[in-house]
């Protein structure tokens, strides 16, 4: 009985020591609000925290959103205001683009706007519209995932064409997405160097 108690004590003390060492190691590598603020100041980033583990970085009128994990910052999405390339009854000729990173290879592109349309009796009214498509991170038309548009086969391609022809080019979507990923890498690299 005494021997069993001694073994349990040794195991508990060993586990406690391991937990202390892991906690100390985690503390040094943890992504904290203060470390993010230090990186922002060092790199002249305009950062605004939504809460303790989510923040927005404004760069060239594009809002990039990030989430802080235990050991790194993850790029979540970006938002930008775009001008319609042609007059298509859009209020102020502006649309709003949001690109959400679902995982390493999949993105969701959402375009929102307010448009003016005629209703019964010839009166004009303003409506809010939201369209979207899901594709790979190369933003290729061939990669559109139609399962998100099960009610209307081909609707993803139609919305892809509407967004990329009227509001923002595929190259620009990709450029802003890759910039969000690069900002995330830069922040992570700088956070590692802060002790």
Q: What are phi and psi of 151, to 5 degrees?
A: -70, -20
pLDDT recorded at residue 194: 78
Nearest CA to 186 out of 97, 72, 83 is that of: 72
| Burial category of 114 from C-beta neighbours within 10 Å (exposed 0-12, middle 13-18, buried 19 and up) | middle
pLDDT recorded at residue 23: 46
pLDDT recorded at residue 150: 53
Q: Tokens in use for 18?
A: 């391991």
CA angle 3, 8, 13 (to 5 degrees): 125
pLDDT recorded at residue 155: 81
pLDDT recorded at residue 123: 83
pLDDT recorded at residue 103: 79
In tens, the pLDDT along 44-100 reads: 999 999 888 899 999 999 999 999 988 889 999 999 999 887 767 788 888 999 999
Ranges of the chain whose pLDDT falls below 70: 1-5, 7-8, 10-12, 14-30, 87, 148-154, 195
pLDDT recorded at residue 101: 95
* Stated pTM of the model: 0.80
3-state SS class at 144: coil
pLDDT recorded at residue 29: 40
**C-alpha gyration radius of the chain:** 24
Nearest CA to 114 out of 102, 128, 98, 100 is that of: 128
CA angle 43, 44, 47 (to 5 degrees): 105
pLDDT recorded at residue 1: 53
């Amino acid at each position: 009985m005494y021997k069993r108690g001694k073994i349990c004590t040794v195991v508990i003390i060993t586990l406690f020591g391991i937990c202390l060492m892991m906690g100390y190691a985690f503390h040094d590598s943890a992504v904290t609000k203060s470390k993010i603020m230090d990186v922002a100041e060092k790199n002249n980033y305009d950062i605004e925290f939504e809460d303790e583990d989510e923040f927005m970085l404004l760069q060239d009128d594009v809002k990039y959103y990030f989430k802080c994990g235990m050991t790194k910052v993850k790029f979540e999405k970006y938002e930008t205001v775009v001008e319609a390339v042609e007059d298509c009854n859009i209020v102020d000729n502006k649309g709003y683009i949001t690109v959400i990173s679902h995982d390493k290879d999949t993105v969701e592109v959402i375009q929102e706007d307010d448009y003016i349309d005629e209703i019964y009796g010839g009166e004009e009214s303003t409506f809010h519209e939201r369209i979207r498509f899901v594709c790979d991170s190369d933003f290729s038309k061939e990669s559109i995932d139609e399962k998100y548009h099960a009610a209307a086969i081909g609707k993803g391609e139609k919305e892809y064409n509407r967004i990329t022809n009227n509001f923002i080019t595929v190259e620009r979507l990709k450029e802003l997405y890759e910039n969000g990923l690069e900002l995330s890498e830069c922040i992570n690299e700088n956070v590692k160097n802060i002790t």
